[in-house]
Amino acid sequence: MTVAHVTGAARGIGQAIATRLAEDGHDVAVSDLPSMAEALEETRSKLESTGVRAIALTGDVSDHDSVRALVTDTATQLGSLDVMVANAGIAQTKALLDVTPEEFDKVLAVNSRGAFLCYTEAARQMIDQGTGGKIIGAASIAAHKGFPLLGVYCSSKFALRALTQAAAQEWAPHKITVNAYCPGIVDTTMWEEIDHDLGEINHMGKGESMKAMAAGITLGRVSTGDDVAKLVSFLAGPDSDYITGQSILVDGGMIFV
């Protein structure tokens, strides 16, 4: 039985990923901020109902000690760490000239530093175990193209894409693959917040900003967490053993590279 850990799993894409990995037969540790503990426990209970072992852990991915504890507790309580999904992230919608250095640091602390900490601490655990593993990060279409009013968010996701490429090359001798998934517009709370903030800036009503961006989706609809979870399921399983260093788009056809 393999063990997976999914950060930012109390809701949205993270919850969908954790659910799919449990359905695939992985034992799963889910984590999120302490403020999300109640929702996180609901996720854990749902996973356990599928017949796998599941634990809920709280922590902050931008804090090194916290990430070390998440990895250690997962391996101690479930026996190993074989799949790390660094899913936790935050968004910011703001013109670059209005962004403060403190706001810039906050976004990169979660999206870039957080990914670095999850990647490296998971890799240390996997190397110690000696059985390889899968490390998977949450990138975005914003890791392939810069978007106005999302400049800081894009910067953080471009950084994660570069980290993924470098880590894949460094850890290949240890039979660890490192890949990232790149969602487009997903029907989640985060995208509702982005829609709201874009609407405030551009004087548009609720849902109008998302609708305008979604008009460019080739398949004609925004995605769901399950769409993303299917890709992560593949990256976490044996069928992706010969894929590493990739940041794979799962956006319905918004960005073509």
What does the longest C-alpha to C-alpha distance in the chain come to?
Answer: 55
Tokens of 30: 């889910």
Q: Are strands 3-7 and 133-138 parallel, antiparallel or unpaired?
A: unpaired
CB 199 within 8 A of CB 222: no
Q: Which of 119, 153, 181, 242 is catalytic?
A: 153
Round to whole Å and give the CA distance between 29 and 56. Answer: 6
CB 13 within 8 A of CB 188: yes
* Phi and psi angles of residue 128, each rounded to the nearest 5 degrees, phi first: -60, -40
Output the CA–CA distances (angstroms, integers) from residue 248 to 36, 180, 227, in the order listed.
28, 6, 13
**Range list of β-strands (E), the chain:** 3-7, 27-32, 54-58, 83-86, 133-138, 176-183, 247-250
Reduced to 3 DSSP states, what percent helix, strand and coil does the chain have, rounded to the nearest 5?
A: 55, 15, 30
**Catalytic site includes residue 119:** no
**149: alpha, beta or left, given left = phi > 0 and alpha = psi -120 to 50?**
left
Round to whole Å and give the CA distance between 85 and 68. Answer: 15
- Which residues does the annotation mark as catalytic? 153
